[in-house]
Structure 1
């Protein structure tokens, strides 16, 4: 409901700052959507209802649309003519171009990122699919028309691969899918070289060799087995064991790591419990497969309660996960209340000594460290620096100290939430020839971090979301007032054909149930989008309340 083609075209221009050029116009809208007008051929296209849009026929444009179609065709031809001087001269002389010249001009402009061709259709009604596929071929770049893909060579230098079958093989795994018949399918996009089924490739992220089982060409919900894939192809591999989304597969003798995808940290968690004993094992399998498919979704077991905790990007994200668990894996589960994924950090540097000494009947335990713990810029993460000189602590014990610190960071400082954005320098300590062990230094590191961080003015960080609300003007005051009550900070207000646009930054903790509240405020006429923006320090009163709950 609410579909409006020309409004969307305007939104592409105002919101995305692009130059949309419609090459089709819809005939009717919403329930009355019947077909499209092809502005290049100036013909109406109608799809058959009987074979679910597999066939279509060309007819004359409805009389009522001829004038508006001519107006938009003129704009399209003008955009195509701007592609080069030859087309522009012809257009200025004749005010018209041939159909092939229009396609040539639109393609050139699209490849130069000057325009965005806009088509329309309805997947639900099976209308417009063939035209979109033709548009992909006619307007979008082939693999040889895009810049060479860049990556990092094995020696750390920047490398690149030409889009050629003669280059060494390189591909990116961009999607993992679980199939009930063949198991895990890894979708890859080949950037260079040729890959044949049965051959071996290398995963530089995991430093593991993988053998390709079968290669499948996917056609919507059907598939066809193929022997090889070449540059520019997209295919699914069967039999890969250690590949996750965003990882590179490359030639064993010519290693390159392509740019990885960045996945945001989960910001919301819920506890899930299987309803029956039979669901327990099935739930573990289902969640591990879903986590493999979706890197922004995480699963872990709470050590204190023994509960299974699932974490994702929002309420809807986790609702979909639980729904898929039931539909695809037959797992019935009870779901707890959503919990915000808070983080902890520190605000001042400290130095901390930590000794772990245990003397028992036999061999004792001895670990002694000096740690410098410092805050880092937001988003920097954790950094461990080994500044030991003169062998004060033997090299083999250093990783144990780091491991102890990392484990303690996971358990938090005051509220039990993971610690982020800290730098820890191990700069001194001592050891015992007989009693020192990895375990002793791990415990010394863990206890030292906990003691030092507690004195380093710890603070609680909460996830803040970027929220955009589009509302009719008469509800603007109510919407802004409601966002302010939710501790939101209004960043700006704008206007577009759909209404007033409010941009705000709001703590996630205040956004639970917002969809329902917004519907009530605006009689269902406002919409909103929300995405994770950053972590910010929570106000003292909020932080204290959260810590006291733990």
Structure 2
């Protein structure tokens, strides 16, 4: 049994170009797993193992990699690191969110010259929501324009976080040669060979002594209040020992009171060892984080928790599925209990048991077979049949569900069809696998046209899916124009009634309903209540009325988009002892929807995106003018050192192709991230245009 205090499950989060993959590479090199370092510049990094990622230089799949670290000077017992590589692009935030659930701690990587960029802020917010303790690593200090102290200030101002500086850079840009460890007051200086192990530990350079003392005193000030006894002695002038300071930092870091902050250059192999020591010193082991709450099958909390303990019943969460040449790999975080090869486990979502055929430990794109896993481990299982991301696997005799994972609804869809008509079945199988791997990716078949519609979280998300179809599954597809997921709602309260009568010999059908339809709160969806008194509509028929309305909301009356945010109140009605049935009341409700919604002033709603743009100062006017033309509402402008951050709410329909336009406007320096915010009523001219387009599309389908 491995000692759980020697485990660290960590994720590395960063903006697209902050050097996350290079940092992961260096960690793997230092921990002895890979010998030739893959450079992202040539598209050869170990964790970026999907072809699409190697070409785009951004990380899409979160690969789980296991490695071991005994400390930079072999000062620790070897610790086992499970590293989850998280994607940095906003269209993949679903994967970031999902991998955050299985982490115990993280390393937030920031670029020394770019600082805190829009996407890093999004990921930081997700990590705060998921209560993941982090250390900060300011990377790329060898880059032109890199400024460690500016980034520290941005972490405070933009993220509202409290960095506790652990190392200071020696030299900057081309002259960056190493770091000073504030606790030991020692300088780590690397030579220029690029070998991470070629360094010397020396005294602090004379010109830095005053700075080092100032920052060291600040560090102790920031952390001493974690321990009353140490704080009291410190106030009386007694300096705490290094071990005492570390104890305070660890306590505060795990509580997320502050974030230990390191610096270096992963590309030049300088400073990474101290970050790894920091992971052991300051990030929690699996037993030090709040255990996952358990729920019943319906998702209602049971009050129990999956305590990280090998002796308890088995609980595991499937957080990623990947298809590779060996079949489906199900990445599982084991929260409690033990798992052996050949065990049967219950999938609480399907209610079926699955047998664990093989179990492997992953190293990026390479693996080693293992016989057992225990609480705290992250492993990949092979041979499971009906498992999707977010499913809980558990001991069949003591079932429990780990909190059900909630995924956002897609906001964009495109129609696709195989270029080669014979590939239809192949495409269907491929898409089936892709939906299993990514719950934020959906697919449906258009009933009238028979077209396959794929839906996702943004343009890039669907681009990548089309790419995966082509490269991984060998299906080349024609791609339609992106379609926005509009919705419909009503704006007026209406009282109405409907009678359904059908007599065709024998027993007929009869149902009469009186009802009020009125607008609901934004985001409330469809709500139903019955205030019928007396027995005019017997209670057993109420669910049928609700079912009839509910079945109708998928198709609005304006343009066939789902209708939401309205309330139906069944107030009265009538029934017939022989001819009334649940089906008659359901039919009445469906017809009532078609009759009354057009009278309730229906309105088209469009998805509004929270857009976060970073632009160099010289281009601010162009960017804001362009956002205004896209019907954007500017929420804030925040000048930074390297440029201006603009936050705006913009309709999704006006954001297509934005990345290209932004690059043109800002000579390639602009960046943006966007995520769904809310639905808003469409202006009349936009609504008319959308309805016209839908009608034309429907006409063409009929031809």
Report what 2:259 is aligned to.
116
Structure-2 separation of matches of 1:317 and 1:266: 10
Report the TM-score when normalising by structure 1.
0.85
1:299 to 419, 423, 443: 443
Structure 2 residue 328 is the aligned partner of structure 1 residue 183: yes
Shift in Å, 1:333: 0.8
Contact 1:179–1:185 (CA under 8 A) maintained in structure 2: no
1:430-451, CA deviations, whole angstroms, 9 ceiling, x for partnerless residues?
Answer: 5566666665544332222122
Structure-1 separation of matches of 2:320 and 2:175: 36
Contact 2:331–2:378 (CA under 8 A) maintained in structure 1: no
Structure 2 residue 310 is the aligned partner of structure 1 residue 198: no
Q: Could you tell me which runs of 5 or more consecutive residues in structure 1 were left unpaired when the two chains were aligned.
A: none
User: CA 1:8/1:318 → structure 2, altered by over 3 Å: closer, same or farther?
Assistant: farther
Report what 1:136 is aligned to.
279
Which stretch of structure 1 is more off in the superposition, 280-289 or 27-36?
27-36
Shift in Å, 1:263: 2.0
User: CA 1:380/1:208 → structure 2, altered by over 3 Å: closer, same or farther?
Assistant: farther
User: CA 1:293/1:478 → structure 2, altered by over 3 Å: closer, same or farther?
Assistant: same
User: CA 1:250/1:125 → structure 2, altered by over 3 Å: closer, same or farther?
Assistant: farther
User: CA 1:47/1:533 → structure 2, altered by over 3 Å: closer, same or farther?
Assistant: farther
Shift in Å, 1:380: 1.7
Structure-2 separation of matches of 1:344 and 1:209: 41
Structure 2 residue 451 is the aligned partner of structure 1 residue 451: no
Shift in Å, 1:505: 1.1
Contact 1:159–1:256 (CA under 8 A) maintained in structure 2: no
Structure-2 separation of matches of 1:333 and 1:69: 59
Structure-1 separation of matches of 2:448 and 2:174: 54
2:646 to 472, 497, 502: 502
Structure 2 residue 313 is the aligned partner of structure 1 residue 172: no
Shift in Å, 1:398: 5.4
Report what 2:688 is aligned to.
544
Shift in Å, 1:143: 2.0
1:284 to 423, 428, 432: 428
2:528 to 380, 384, 387: 384
Contact 2:513–2:574 (CA under 8 A) maintained in structure 1: yes
Which stretch of structure 1 is more off in the superposition, 250-259 or 443-452?
250-259
State how 1:257-336 maps to structure 2 within 5 Å: 257-336=401-480
User: CA 1:87/1:387 → structure 2, altered by over 3 Å: closer, same or farther?
Assistant: same
Structure 2 residue 381 is the aligned partner of structure 1 residue 237: yes
**Matched positions, count:** 546
State how 1:141-152 maps to structure 2 within 5 Å: 141-152=284-295
Shift in Å, 1:286: 1.9
Report what 1:57 is aligned to.
198
User: CA 1:385/1:246 → structure 2, altered by over 3 Å: closer, same or farther?
Assistant: farther
Shift in Å, 1:14: 1.6
Which stretch of structure 1 is more off in the superposition, 437-446 or 309-318?
437-446
State how 1:337-352 maps to structure 2 within 5 Å: 337-352=481-496
Contact 1:110–1:117 (CA under 8 A) maintained in structure 2: yes
User: CA 1:285/1:35 → structure 2, altered by over 3 Å: closer, same or farther?
Assistant: farther
Structure 2 residue 517 is the aligned partner of structure 1 residue 373: yes
Contact 2:191–2:199 (CA under 8 A) maintained in structure 1: no
User: CA 1:271/1:157 → structure 2, altered by over 3 Å: closer, same or farther?
Assistant: closer
1:55-109, CA deviations, whole angstroms, 9 ceiling, x for partnerless residues?
Answer: 6233247969956777655654554545435555776789976654453332122
Structure-1 separation of matches of 2:334 and 2:603: 43
- SS of the residue aligned with 1:56? coil
1:226-275, CA deviations, whole angstroms, 9 ceiling, x for partnerless residues?
Answer: 33333222223334444433343344444444333332221111111111
Contact 1:168–1:251 (CA under 8 A) maintained in structure 2: yes
Which stretch of structure 1 is more off in the superposition, 380-389 or 527-536?
380-389
- SS of the residue aligned with 1:135? helix
User: CA 1:27/1:284 → structure 2, altered by over 3 Å: closer, same or farther?
Assistant: farther
Contact 1:186–1:240 (CA under 8 A) maintained in structure 2: no
- SS of the residue aligned with 1:480? helix
1:16 to 147, 159, 170: 159
User: CA 1:303/1:124 → structure 2, altered by over 3 Å: closer, same or farther?
Assistant: farther
Structure-2 separation of matches of 1:537 and 1:146: 43
Structure-2 separation of matches of 1:364 and 1:130: 81
- SS of the residue aligned with 2:675? strand
Which stretch of structure 1 is more off in the superposition, 34-43 or 410-419?
34-43
Report what 1:249 is aligned to.
393
Structure-2 separation of matches of 1:436 and 1:31: 84
Structure 2 residue 364 is the aligned partner of structure 1 residue 223: no
Contact 1:291–1:298 (CA under 8 A) maintained in structure 2: yes
User: CA 1:459/1:195 → structure 2, altered by over 3 Å: closer, same or farther?
Assistant: same
User: CA 1:275/1:363 → structure 2, altered by over 3 Å: closer, same or farther?
Assistant: farther
Shift in Å, 1:33: 8.0
Structure-2 separation of matches of 1:316 and 1:359: 55
RMSD: 3.7
Shift in Å, 1:538: 1.3
User: CA 1:154/1:344 → structure 2, altered by over 3 Å: closer, same or farther?
Assistant: closer
User: CA 1:439/1:284 → structure 2, altered by over 3 Å: closer, same or farther?
Assistant: farther
Q: Could you tell me which runs of 5 or more consecutive residues in structure 2 were left unpaired when the two chains were aligned.
A: 1-16, 18-110, 114-137, 139-147, 695-703
User: CA 1:222/1:98 → structure 2, altered by over 3 Å: closer, same or farther?
Assistant: farther
1:26-63, CA deviations, whole angstroms, 9 ceiling, x for partnerless residues?
Answer: 6788999887665556343759989xx7x623324796
- SS of the residue aligned with 1:452? helix
User: CA 1:167/1:506 → structure 2, altered by over 3 Å: closer, same or farther?
Assistant: same
- SS of the residue aligned with 1:273? strand
